[in-house]
Amino acid sequence: MAIYLPSTAEEEQLALDELTPREIVAELDKHVIGQKEAKRAVAIALRNRTRRQKLPPDLAEEIIPKNIIMIGPTGVGKTEIARRLAKLANSPFLKVEASKFTEVGYVGRDVESMVRDLVEIAIDNVREEKLEDVADKAEQNAEERLLDILQPPSPTRPEPSATAGGVVIDGSTGLTDSPTRTREKLKQQLREGKLDDRTVEIDVRERNFPSFEILTNQGVEEMDVNIKDMLPNIFGQRTKKRKMKVNEAFEYLIQEEEQRLIDMDQVTRTAIDRVENSGIVFLDEIDKIAGREAGHGP
């Protein structure tokens, strides 16, 4: 097994920075029985990577982290040690079967796909972290937008049940009080779930065109190529009206607000940095390649 184990110095890893190799081993002991030498080796390696991240950039570039080879029969905990170490270090983790490199027709594309897959995993992880950070704000914004739909602003006194601004409201909303008091009542009813069965009409973004396969000189590779992304000035952002229950509309608006609050460019940059400095690639079954006297592939 070969693992590339540098680390990162982001805020969520402050606790890891304070862990000694002995404490890292203690954390691994909670999930893997035995294998003291292997745990000690990976703990020291992880600690060294953490120290490397604290060095000046020009000096850190001169220190190249080493890979780790763990040898043992199936089921002794090699994969689990690496997986738990990745979780402890908050590092993107990818497991790859080394025997895949000897498949007929292998020309090197799988090596590049490993890095790409690791970046995609890191992007998903960072995005989930950002979603947790903006969850409260997204819910608050979605609630205000939904209240605007339930009580659309109007220069004239609204009717108890009306269609206004393209928004359909089924049933009376009790708009006989002042707009401020009515909004507070609606907010309370919304939070208590009393409006869940009411129907509203909201603007929903149209789905993207499906991805398709591209034939390259290295083979067929599926890529998420979107026509709208290629020609944004022509297509723009299109929406359509859709009727939903209030509870369904609330969930949709929360997801929409989450996407607005997250800077995907920053997410991508953070993910790439995390892959470069703390990504873990687990190469399994490497002995099946090294032990063959004759075979195909590199």
* CA–CA separation, 129 and 270 (whole Å): 11
Q: What is the per-residue pLDDT for 154?
A: 59
- Looking at this protein, which amino acid is placed at residue 29? D
> What does the pLDDT look like over 9-39, one tens digit per residue?
344 454 666 788 888 899 888 888 888 888 8
Structure tokens at 148: 């605007």
Query: Is the Cβ–Cβ distance between 86 and 43 less than 8 Å?
Result: no
Name the percent of the chain lying above pLDDT 90. Answer: 14
The ranges assigned to domains in the chain are 16-124+279-289
Residue 298 has pLDDT above 70, yes or no: no
Specify which residues 284 forms β-bridges with: 97
This prediction's pTM: 0.67
In this structure, which CATH number among 3.40.50.300, 3.50.50.60, 3.30.565.10, 3.30.9.10 belongs to the domain 16-124+279-289?
A: 3.40.50.300
Task: Provide the 3-class DSSP secondary structure of residue 5.
Answer: coil
